[in-house]
Amino acid sequence: MNPSFLSGLNEQQLEAVTLPPQPALILAGAGSGKTRVLTTRIAWLIQTGQVSPAELLAVTFTNKAAKEMLARISSMLPINTRGMWVGTFHGLCNRMLRAHYREAGLPQLFQILDSQDQLALIKRLMKAANVDDEKYPPRQVAWYINSHKDDGRRAMDADAYDSFSRRMQELYAAYDEQCQREGVVDFAELLLRCFDLLSKNEILRDHYRGRFRHILVDEFQDTNRLQYRWLRLLAGKENAIFAVGDDDQSIYAFRGASAANMQDLQQDFAVEKVIKLEQNYRSHGHILDAANALIGHNRRRLGKNLWTAAAKGEPLRVYEAATDIDEAGFIVEEVKALQSEGVRLSEIALLYRSNAQSRVLEHALFSAGVAYRVYGGLRFFERQEIKHALAYLRLLASDEDDGALMRVINFPARGIGNRSLEQLQDAAKANSTSLWQAAKEKAGGGKSKSIADFVALIESMRSATANLPLPEIIEHVIEHSGLTPHYRNERDGTDRLENLGELVNAAAGFVSDEQQEDTSLTAFLAHAALEAGDNQAEAGTDALQLMTVHSAKGLEFHSVFISGLEEGLFPHENSLSEADGREEERRLMYVALTRARRRLYLSLAQNRMLHGKTRYHIASGFFEEIPAALMKRIGSRFRNQSSRFGSQSAGPRVAGPRAAVTQPSTVGWQADTPWRIGQNVTHPKFGAGVIVNAEGGGMDARVQVNFHRNGTKWLALEYAKLAPA
């Protein structure tokens, strides 16, 4: 007799759920019901008496997913799920270490450091050891430690081939010693310490292998190497590991995730059964056909093809805008049209590759009075780096802005501690002056070199920017305040630097806005404050969802807009210099496409503002990988007439992954120029590279070349000694 919860499963889902106890890989496509399969498998194992609730272990990647899984199990079976081993890698390892703290060499009440706590400990350690934090930025040290731990390497195992790497190795070792003395562990240590415990303690290892005869793993494609090794160690040779994942949705390589774990699983566990869940219950046919065609260009796939019993639906709507502002305006109008058709704002998502893109989009939505919410992130003007830059600008504009001074007086760090700040505040209060005046008096009295240096910095920036246009003021402040070098040394600094560049764009757009009578710094700061105010919808209200493609994974919407589909933006220019970078970007695009149920919009701009300057782009190569029959042009010249974006006869194709686009006739270039975007070139100093962007014309023509060994550089064609490769 089949339990009632098996009803409604399709043939492949039922096969996966009722597999005998054996290692299995479930290749589950987007919208194919993988969460249902995983939870139903657990319920079936318990219902059929193959395992008790305490004898299985299920691993998810978020606490939210773990709670959802337990809730679904409770709805299928009348059991208490409280004691079940269902959770994240970090949560399960923490539970195991709490139970065996002595064996793990930890105090009973060991504490867990979050990322900020970890950074603070590293800073204390470096200060005590008199380590130069400019040469060895604390955030870079933290990234070094965590990345080695994620790869399963202790300090003694880390490569040390020069003075810098040897010093980093020493800091890692000192950090581990300090953590041990204080009885604390960071997130990466939870997994590594648990792996070490099971590796070295045979009795414990055999105990857990005997207990967890069934191990189930969700989102298996997102596991890193250490997580896979931990699972392999826990499973041994006898236990059944049931892995559910989709190699086509592996988009976290920057976090160490490796889709290769899926192939290793098949070899290491001699997996006889790979079940493909290909029936999609989310999207219409045209959307799935586009996603299948796109991802088919990736190599080394395990292979599957999504299909649906639903209708083909509407074609993908493609809009080629003249500018990024035009693109944003188009999106706003289409959102309003969808609203009028009865689609709720919360059922519409606006996706972008980079956080910096949200600024123009937010401005357009704010101006049109469309309620929106930034999912999984902050609105543009609320982001840390933007608030820091604005604080510097506020201080330039007004000596009386105590809040601005407090925010930036020691950011980036310049050795001004809490005691010095308290003295400033006391002096300002006693003399009824601003903090700035108190700082000037303290600096003038020679009582604090650090404060004197800060005062000199602000005054020099104020003097240097006195007669500059607004965008150049902001550019100068971002660079000379120390924000640029600070974020350049951060692990996630690239996004923050892109956001700071977008702030310059915001200023340029503000100045060029004909409706702005006052384009001063003060007026711009007021504009920024207003846009940072009440334009984001409150929680619980109907609102358009804005998010990066990474944040969209696991979500679905009635209608989806994918914006900024241009080479260098999506796919991102960084993908050119990374191994398999183009394939990772293609998987990211695949995730974006498969978020839509009914309607999908793809948009691009002929030019957009980057770092305060207009840049000309070509259409994303992804357009060339989606069959034209699946797309419908909306008010654009896409693949039509003599469009710069994807003109079929515009130029030669270049072999290899970088050649997914055809060559446009870039605005301002001579028709007979020998240079083409996507062309392989060589330079006498920088070596081999590929042209990825271009701007200007005649004597002012420039190309952006991504050199294999030296990164991306802009070169003036009049002087650059480029040669075709």
Residues that are catalytic: 34-35, 218-219, 249, 595
Kindly state the helix (H) or strand (E) to which residue 502 belongs, with its residue range: helix 493-512
Phi, psi of 620 (to 5 degrees): -55, 140
Q: Is 608 in contact with 322 (CB distance < 8 Å)?
A: no
What is the C-alpha to C-alpha distance for residues 693 and 616, in angstroms, rounded to an integer?
8
Query: Closest Cα partner for 650 from 677, 689, 615, 668?
Result: 677
What is the C-alpha to C-alpha distance for residues 521 and 533, in angstroms, rounded to an integer?
19
Strand 680-683 to 723-724 pairing: antiparallel
Helices (H) and strands (E) in the chain, counts: 25, 21
Query: Closest Cα partner for 549 from 251, 218, 282?
Result: 251
Q: Extract the tokens encoding 639.
A: 């693949």
DSSP-derived letter for residue 537 is P
DSSP-derived letter for residue 60 is E
Q: Count how many residues are written for the chain.
A: 725
User: Rounded to a whole number, what is the distance in angstroms from the first to the last CA of the chain?
Assistant: 69
What is the C-alpha to C-alpha distance for residues 526 and 2, in angstroms, rounded to an integer?
66
Query: Closest Cα partner for 246 from 290, 296, 309, 304?
Result: 304
Query: Closest Cα partner for 589 from 316, 279, 311?
Result: 316
Residue type for 333, please? Answer: E
| Cα–Cα separations (whole angstroms), residue 265 to 244, 254, 256, 298 | 11, 21, 17, 21
Q: Which residues of 696-712 are buried (b: 16+ CB within 10 A; e: fewer)?
A: beeeebbbbbbbeeeeb
Residue with tokens 């711009």: 524
Q: Extract the tokens encoding 168.
A: 């980093």
Residue with tokens 């809009």: 319
Q: Extract the tokens encoding 79.
A: 């059991």
What is the C-alpha to C-alpha distance for residues 661 and 677, in angstroms, rounded to an integer?
9
Query: Closest Cα partner for 560 from 250, 284, 245?
Result: 284
Q: Extract the tokens encoding 434.
A: 């601003």
Which residues does 302 contact at the CB level (< 8 Å), separation at least 6?
27, 247, 262, 263, 274
| Cα–Cα separations (whole angstroms), residue 620 to 344, 456, 564, 606 | 30, 46, 9, 11
Phi, psi of 307 (to 5 degrees): -145, 165
